[in-house]
Amino acid sequence: MKMLVTGATGKLGSMVVEKLLKTVPAGQIAVSVRNPEKAESFLAQGVEVRHGDFDQPESLDKAFAGIDRLLIISADGDNDTRIRQHANAVEAAARAKVGFIAYTSLGRASESSLFLAPVHRFTEEAILKTGIPYSFLRNNWYLENEASAIEGVLAGAPWVTSAGNGRVGWALRADYAEAAAAVLAGSGHDNTVYELSGKPLTQQELVNELGAVLGREIPVQQVDDNTYGDIMNNAGIPDFVIPILVGIQEGIRSGALDIESGDLEKLLGRPAAPVKQGLEQLVEQLKQSK
């Protein structure tokens, strides 16, 4: 059986491959990357490295040839770009007659109001149309997404949010990666949808956990969306990023990421890492990067 991970030099993809190497012979693993030279570390471990660019469908035909189980990791970029790239990947998978497609989606993608949801809704529907057995890995939110806010707190800033009491099912990227590896290498996952989420917490509850890690009280500044955007602008965030950040806050406030589910624990075969533990890791990483 040959399995392939796309985007394997990215943060999530590289972790998925690392997890796979703990349970699967390297000879059964292939990766598809835009820049094969960046995947030399995998090559050294016996993983097959293939060139595959979501903007070059012909490269995907070669990359997916002979693959039994495929993990499509969602691409980066604006919604239109991602939809085009994902369509290319799904169509190439169908042409290659892969036996199974796992896809890293978004929490409640089929009904979510989050501005990111249309990409994932489109991709899930495209995969369904192929008739290929699938598993949708609907990742909630990476705890690592809060690194810049945590960095601000370490520098003495308050935690700024316009998300109100909206809850988020934060989990560590490593746990999402391990769950994806379990599905790709495992059995019994045909035609499944997994809502992968940590315990949902409000911004205040997350900050309380961060305060426990740092040993001090952290002020939370609840503002409206316009003020939040202004604060991000004053913090030097690029103009094109600010609407994205505001959109995330809006989505959280509306409950788009408030998802109670035991699917992550089920796939891991253990509890997901507690948020406090994850925050301890992030704080240590941020301090070491100084």
From first to last of the 290 residues of the chain, give the pLDDT tens digit: 999 999 999 999 999 999 999 999 999 999 999 999 999 999 999 999 999 999 999 999 999 999 999 999 999 988 999 999 999 999 999 999 999 999 999 999 999 999 999 999 999 999 999 999 999 999 999 999 999 999 999 999 999 999 999 999 999 999 999 999 999 999 999 999 999 999 999 999 999 999 999 999 999 999 999 999 999 999 899 999 999 999 999 999 999 999 999 999 999 999 999 999 999 999 999 989 87
- In this prediction the pTM is 0.96
Residue 249 contacts residue 161 (beta carbons within 8 Å):
yes
CA distance 48 to 8: 11
Burial class (CB in 10 A: 0-12, 13-18, 19+), 260: exposed
Burial class (CB in 10 A: 0-12, 13-18, 19+), 6: buried
DSSP 32: E
Q: Which distant-in-sequence residues (6+ apart) come within 8 Å of 116 by Cβ?
A: 79, 106, 247, 251
Residue 109 contacts residue 83 (beta carbons within 8 Å):
no
In order of their start, the domains of the chain are: 3-139 (3.40.50.720), 141-170+198-259+273-290 (3.90.25.10)
Give just the sign of the alpha carbon dihedral 120, 125, 131, 136: positive
CA distance 95 to 3: 16
Question: Among residues 269, 112, 257, 70, which one has the least CA distance to residue 170?
Answer: 257
CA distance 178 to 264: 9
Residue that is written with structure tokens 């913090």 in the block:
235
